[in-house]
């Protein structure tokens, strides 16, 4: 049974039993405690926590998940994966244990002909929490599982909580006995490799007041509504139903693994165990990379971007260890899309963008590997010169942490040179880094205002009715006040507050649109000035501001007034963003889909994927097309419809956004149509004018356009017109002649600068011997290192280094390295003569060692190489590193 069929059977089984099928949410949810969705229940957290009412009593889903805590175990075991799919059925105060247990048993044991998975009943075991007699009784009395195949386990294995105060409850897990060839007898408590967990049933029945650890917690009281959360790992189920040994050999993952085999020439299952592990890592990680990028993550140095970069680089590194030195990411992403596209067609639609981003990141990493290799060689040469045999842990850690050089490659290259690596020291530093990261995450989580506070306010105040689509002034009642995270009854003048109304015209920040601002006037004349509005839990509008007069008291009648000019300016910007989005997709293709935006008063920014800069002609065409649409004065309308209706109407959806069953579709005439919850102009003509300010890169494969809208755009163009008039007066030319006149002036200036440079260069060359100074003897090589006089540019430095090399005696191996400091930056040039190259010295290798000390980059060939850096204090260290590189190259 293939994975797609396993998935569809699960959803169909529960849909037939009254569960609403819910599509997989994005891997990126608005949850400050999670980088990625890591469990099937995460999208339903607001319903389990009571932060929002569930739109259904029963639901079922197959949720894509990413976990990276055990990333180093991927490929080594049969059960660790960074990407997986979790099938689940959920009950929100509907059925409980008496429903969940029989459902699971029926699906597992029903024949394939009857829509089940066909497991033999006598191969299935169940576990229950120590004191959960109720679950045990259902398993034995209702389902009919013999008591000897039901085992009790403690809280470590069979109690679930979120790790914080809130809902919790016992678990019941279902295990499949794979047979004596996989381990010893005795059930799951004896051997979890032989007895493989296939399903976990969580019975949320307790409200926890404190959670000190997984096994140490306090139960405050029973939950008023008992819930069901279950999880069946789709990949693990596929391994069992397809008769393979592990999750890396199921149909979908094996497709990617086979592509890696073809690219690398390695053999799977018939070669070394190390190669098998590497191929499994590649197959798992390539799929993870594809899904993360499809949901809008881009390689970077922080947060989600850093995780993606690390996973992608693990793919490239393992492919290199398997013997493939050619670019591979494009092929592996294509294989991942081939494997998962039938279940997630959005991957197929986005293939071009995914391949482009992955290939760009692979090219960047290739340069990192080259630099890391040079630094490694320098460190080893220094170690051997001192008579050492073990590379220090901090040196290996610096290569890994600072330069992104994988520890596996460090170990392999060290072994080739006959030296050891202090792995204990490396692991200690890695552990310290992880501990710091965990502490930071814990502090970040602890620093948040607890969502339970907002939940309590919403329990008392109710959901806020948003009236801002139809009005900007609304009568309301003040339902709640928070001061410093504490729920209070009143707040005096000068106090910073968070205010909750039962009805609000204020738009809460979301979808790239900044929040409204304005005033809340109370019945007694007191005034609260609002600067920001947020939705910390769905449905609760929290108005953040300050009491500027009188005293705010819960229960008072109030009137909310939105700052109308700000609202209109933001709305114009938001409508303009929709038009720019449509125009860029028309000009560049469907992959130019919005990945982020900010709509603020009079201006907006718009991010979208593209491998290179947008041509100036395209920028001009898009700007002109948008302004043409504005002049057409098209009606802007909003409709509520189902997701299916929205897709049929051609509405665009955005990366990483979460949409409900019913969506709001904003249309600008028949030209642009997009899912959106924001506020907009009533007609396109009200936007007035759009003027692009800039276009540039904000990360690998992502461009950002910034623009002005309406009167802000007009004022900008007025200033530009004035500037053009002033320039025309200065150069005595008509405005249309300015480009030609300015070009002529600049040409004359450049000619003069070249003449000055020639005179300066001649002066420097004439004083070459004094600049070069004395050579350093490094073995049989003479090494000159010098800092050029102030004001020497990169061209002058190159000439000095070239002249210095040519002036050296050609029969003596020689290397010349020069550095020049200008405008807070360092230029570095290295040249070698033929004798130096014959002795083993390479200009590019010496340059890479030197650049590492000045935070730079560059390259070249064996005879000449150049680059630059930003750390002007590292020049002497660069000279020392260069000497070390020469020493290592010639074996001195």
pLDDT for 456: 81
- Backbone φ and ψ for 885, nearest 5 degrees, come out as -65, -40
pLDDT per residue over 639-675, tens digit each?
Answer: 998 877 887 887 776 544 555 668 899 999 999 999 9
pLDDT per residue over 52-65, tens digit each?
Answer: 788 899 999 999 99
Strand ordering across the sheet containing 672-675: 636-642, 662-668, 672-675
Q: How far is CA 677 from CA 232, 462, 535, 647, in A?
A: 34, 21, 13, 16
pLDDT for 350: 85
Pick the more confident residue, 682 or 806. Answer: 682
**Angle of the 351-385 helix axis to the 273-294 helix axis, nearest 10:** 130
Does this chain's domain 3-245 share its CATH topology with 451-562? no
Q: Which helix (H) or strand (E) holds 547?
A: strand 542-549
b/e for 630-658, b at 16 or more Cβ within 10 A? Answer: beeebebeeeebebeebeeeebbbbbbbe
On whether 721 is known to bind a ligand per the annotation, the reply is no
pLDDT for 177: 95
- The Cα 611–Cα 614 span in angstroms is 9
Look at residues 22, 48, 19, 7 and name the one whose alpha carbon lies nearest to residue 228: 48
For 1-26, what is the mean pLDDT? 94
On whether 680 is known to bind a ligand per the annotation, the reply is yes
For 850-873, what is the mean pLDDT? 92
Look at residues 318, 374, 280, 230 and name the one whose alpha carbon lies nearest to residue 81: 280
- The Cα 291–Cα 317 span in angstroms is 20
Contact predicate 575/552, CB 8 Å: no
Look at residues 872, 870, 800, 802 and name the one whose alpha carbon lies nearest to residue 831: 802
For 713-729, what is the mean pLDDT? 87
Q: For residue 410, what are the contacts with CB-CB under 8 A and spacing of at least 6?
A: 376, 391, 396, 399, 400, 421
Look at residues 573, 610, 583 and name the one whose alpha carbon lies nearest to residue 595: 610
> Does 450 have pLDDT greater than 80?
no
Pick the more confident residue, 357 or 113. Answer: 113
Q: Residue ranges per domain, the chain?
A: 3-245, 251-367, 389-446, 451-562, 572-718, 767-890
CATH number listed for the domain at residues 767-890: 3.10.310.40
Contact predicate 477/501, CB 8 Å: yes
Pick the more confident residue, 209 or 144. Answer: 144
- The Cα 725–Cα 738 span in angstroms is 10
CATH number listed for the domain at residues 572-718: 3.30.980.10
Among 3.60.20.10, 1.20.1090.10, 3.40.50.720, 3.30.930.10, what is the CATH number of 3-245? Answer: 3.30.930.10
Which of 370-379, 425-434, 507-516, 715-724 holds the top average pLDDT? 507-516
Q: What percent of the chain has pLDDT over 70?
A: 96
Q: Which helix (H) or strand (E) holds 367?
A: helix 351-385
- The Cα 367–Cα 374 span in angstroms is 11
> Does 7 have pLDDT greater than 80?
yes
> Does 869 have pLDDT greater than 70?
yes
Q: C-alpha dihedral over 410, 414, 417, 422, to 10 degrees? A: 150
- The Cα 141–Cα 127 span in angstroms is 15
Which of 48-52, 400-404, 583-587, 644-648 holds the top average pLDDT? 583-587
Task: Residue 147: count other Cβ atoms within 10 Å of its Cβ.
Answer: 9
Contact predicate 849/879, CB 8 Å: no
On whether 65 is known to bind a ligand per the annotation, the reply is no
pLDDT per residue over 181-231, tens digit each?
Answer: 999 999 999 998 899 999 999 999 998 888 888 888 988 888 888 999 999
pLDDT for 292: 94
Residue found under tokens 């016992």: 170
For 437-456, what is the mean pLDDT? 60
For 580-600, what is the mean pLDDT? 88
Q: For residue 36, what are the contacts with CB-CB under 8 A and spacing of at least 6?
A: 27, 28, 65, 66, 67, 68, 292, 304, 307
Q: How would CATH label the architecture of 451-562?
A: Beta Barrel (2.40)
- Backbone φ and ψ for 340, nearest 5 degrees, come out as -105, -10
pLDDT per residue over 278-314, tens digit each?
Answer: 999 999 999 999 999 988 888 877 788 888 988 998 8
Return mean pLDDT, the chain. 89
pLDDT per residue over 225-250, tens digit each?
Answer: 899 999 999 999 999 999 998 899 99
Counting every residue, how long is the chain? 892
Q: How far is CA 285 from CA 36, 163, 315, 358, in A?
A: 15, 28, 6, 12
22 by DSSP, 3-state: which?
coil
- The Cα 761–Cα 755 span in angstroms is 10
């Amino acid at each position: 049974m293939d994975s797609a069929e396993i998935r569809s059977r699960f959803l169909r089984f529960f849909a037939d039993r009254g569960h609403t099928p819910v599509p997989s949410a994005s891997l990126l949810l608005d949850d400050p405690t999670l980088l990625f969705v890591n469990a099937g229940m995460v999208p339903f957290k607001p319903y389990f926590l009571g932060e929002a009412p569930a739109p259904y009593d029963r639901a079922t889903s197959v949720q894509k998940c990413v976990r990276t805590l055990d990333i180093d175990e991927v490929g080594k075991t049969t059960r660790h994966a960074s990407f997986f799919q979790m099938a689940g059925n959920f009950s929100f105060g509907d059925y409980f244990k008496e429903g969940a247990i029989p459902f699971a048993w029926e699906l597992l044991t029903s024949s394939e002909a009857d829509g089940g998975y066909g497991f033999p009943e006598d191969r299935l075991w169940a576990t229950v929490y120590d004191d959960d007699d109720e679950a045990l009784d259902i398993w034995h009395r209702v389902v009919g599982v013999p008591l000897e195949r039901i085992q009790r386990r403690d809280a470590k294995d069979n109690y679930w909580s979120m790790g914080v105060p809130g809902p919790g409850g016992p678990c019941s897990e279902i295990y499949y006995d794979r047979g004596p060839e996989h381990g010893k007898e005795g059930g799951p408590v004896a051997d979890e490799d032989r007895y493989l967990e296939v399903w976990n049933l969580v019975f949320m029945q307790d409200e926890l007041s404190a959670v000190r650890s997984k096994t140490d917690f306090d139960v405050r009281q029973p939950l008023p509504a008992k819930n069901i959360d279950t999880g069946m790992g789709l990949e693990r189920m596929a391994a069992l139903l397809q008769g393979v040994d592990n999750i890396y050999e199921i149909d979908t993952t094996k497709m990617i693994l086979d592509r890696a085999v073809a690219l690398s020439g390695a053999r799977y299952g018939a070669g070394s165990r190390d190669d098998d592990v590497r191929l499994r890592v590649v197959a798992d990680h390539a799929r993870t990379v594809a899904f993360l990028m499809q949901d809008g993550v881009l390689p970077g140095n922080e947060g989600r971007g850093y995780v993606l970069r690390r996973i992608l680089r693990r793919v490239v590194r393992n492919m290199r260890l398997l013997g493939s030195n050619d670019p591979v990411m494009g092929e592996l992403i294509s294989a991942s899309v081939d494997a998962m596209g039938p279940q997630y067609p959005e991957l197929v639609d986005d293939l071009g963008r995914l391949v482009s981003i992955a290939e760009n990141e692979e090219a960047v990493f290739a340069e990192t590997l080259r630099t890391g290799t040079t630094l490694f060689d320098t460190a080893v040469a220094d170690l051997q010169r001192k008579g050492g045999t073990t590379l220090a842990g901090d040196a290996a850690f610096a290569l890994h942490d600072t330069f992104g050089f994988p520890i596996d490659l460090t170990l392999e290259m060290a072994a080739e040179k006959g030296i050891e690596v202090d792995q204990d020291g490396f692991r200690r530093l890695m552990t310290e880094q992880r501990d710091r990261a965990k502490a930071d995450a814990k502090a970040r989580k602890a620093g948040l205002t607890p969502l339970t506070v907002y939940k309590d306010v919403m329990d008392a105040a109710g959901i806020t009715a948003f009236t801002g689509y139809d009005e900007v002034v609304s009568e309301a009642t003040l339902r709640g006040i928070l001061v410093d995270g504490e729920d209070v009854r009143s707040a005096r003048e000068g106090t910073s507050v968070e205010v909750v109304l039962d009805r609000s015209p204020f738009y809460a920040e979301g979808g790239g649109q900044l929040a409204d601002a304005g005033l809340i006037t109370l019945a007694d004349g007191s005034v609260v000035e609002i600067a920001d509005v947020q939705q910390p839990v769905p449905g609760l509008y929290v108005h953040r501001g300050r009491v500027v007069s009188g005293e705010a008291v819960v229960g008072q009648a109030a009137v909310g007034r939105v700052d109308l000019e700000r609202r209109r300016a933001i709305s114009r910007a938001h409508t303009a963003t929709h038009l720019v989005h449509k125009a860029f997709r028309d000009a560049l293709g469907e992959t130019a889909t919005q990945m982020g935006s900010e709509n603020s008063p009079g201006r907006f920014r718009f991010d979208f994927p593209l491998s290179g800069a947008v041509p100036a002609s395209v920028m001009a065409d898009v700007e002109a097309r948008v302004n043409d649409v504005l002049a057409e004065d098209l009606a802007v309308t909003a409709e509520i419809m189902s997701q299916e209706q929205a897709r049929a109407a051609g509405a665009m959806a955005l990366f990483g956004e979460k949409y409900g069953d019913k969506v709001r579709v904003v249309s600008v005439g028949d030209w642009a149509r997009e899912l959106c919850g924001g506020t907009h102009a009533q007609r396109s003509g009200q936007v007035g004018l759009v003027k692009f300010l800039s276009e540039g890169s904000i990360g690998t494969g992502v461009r950002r356009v910034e623009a002005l809208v309406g009167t802000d755009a007009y004022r900008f163009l007025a200033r530009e017109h004035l500037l053009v008039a002033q320039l025309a007066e200065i150069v005595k030319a008509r405005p249309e002649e300015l480009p030609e006149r300015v070009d002529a002036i600049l040409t004359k200036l450049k000619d003069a600068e070249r003449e000055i440079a020639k005179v300066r260069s001649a002066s420097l060359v004439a004083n070459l011997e004094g600049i070069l100074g004395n050579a350093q003897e490094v073995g049989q090589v003479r090494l000159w290192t010098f800092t050029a006089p102030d004001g020497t540019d990169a061209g002058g430095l190159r000439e000095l280094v070239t002249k210095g090399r040519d002036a050296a005696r050609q029969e003596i191996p020689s290397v010349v390295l020069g550095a020049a400091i200008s405008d807070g930056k360092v230029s570095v040039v290295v040249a070698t003569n033929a004798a130096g190259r014959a002795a083993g010295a390479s200009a590019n290798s010496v340059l890479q060692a030197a650049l590492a000390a000045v935070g730079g980059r560059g390259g070249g060939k064996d005879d000449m190489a150049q680059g630059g850096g930003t750390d002007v204090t590292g020049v002497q260290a660069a000279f020392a590193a260069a000497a070390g590189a020469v020493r290592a190259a010639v074996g001195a």
